[in-house]
Amino acid sequence: MVARTPNTLRQPPMTLWAIALLLPLIFSGCAAWNGSALQEPAAAAAGATTAPQAPQAWPPYLATYHFSLGVLFSQDEIHDEAIKEFEAARQYDPQSPEIVAELASAYAEKGDFQKAIAVCVESLQDNPDDVNLRMILGGLYMTSRDLKNAVVQYRRVIDLDPQNTNAHLYLGTIYGDARQYPEAFTAFRNLLTIDPDHLMGNYYLGK
């Protein structure tokens, strides 16, 4: 299973009219960028003694623009276009774990699990403590039947977030499927210590 956090739950499809809501942001970003570029020569002509600062607004606006388009395409299950937009967003904000999470999910929805895994692994070099990315990566490894690496990811999530019930649940199911029952029992007991009424935890522990 591949999950954003951790279950892939789609919102009702959004129509592309929502893109129009982004245009004022883009235009204001352009204005900020162009205005800054136009003011620099004027400042120099006036004998300014401080170096003009590089405009900061433009790339973030582009990242937001492409990311928002990617979300719209993803919700409409147009995966190729979603991937294109998320990749474009990553060009302007290459270290964003949120962009990579959506990009990996789009690749997975298309069935390209190896590419989804690759972008998660790459992003974790910049964001080693990002719990959401590690949960997604663990789900990708589970789907690919790479259970050893899935265990590594879920254990790391538990190190970072000991109260993460989903990490305990998935770890227990992996051990149970592998017939490593003592480890599975421990994982489910840890889960029920956090949430005694957890439906799936009680179900698996009862098996």
Contact 165, 188 (CB under 8 A): no
Q: Write down the number of H helices and E strands in the chain.
A: 10, 0
Could you report the average pLDDT of every consecutive run of 10 residues in the chain (207 residues)? Answer: 39 42 45 41 42 48 92 95 96 94 96 97 96 97 96 98 97 95 96 95 84
> Kind and range of the H or E element at 131?
helix 131-143
DSSP string, 106-119: HHHHHT-HHHHHHH
**Widest Cα–Cα separation across the chain:** 79
pLDDT of residue 206: 79
Question: Tokens 């789009």 — which residue?
Answer: 106
The token duo for 105 is: 């999910």
Beta-carbon contacts of 173 under 8 Å, excluding residues fewer than 6 positions away, are 184, 204
* pLDDT confidence of residue 30: 44
Tokens of 99: 């962009």
Residue 151 is predicted with a pLDDT of 98
Predicted pLDDT of residue 171: 97
As given in the structure block, the two tokens for residue 190 are: 């840890």
Q: What is the pLDDT of residue 59?
A: 64
Cα torsion 130, 100, 123, 120: sign: positive
Report pLDDT for 61: 85
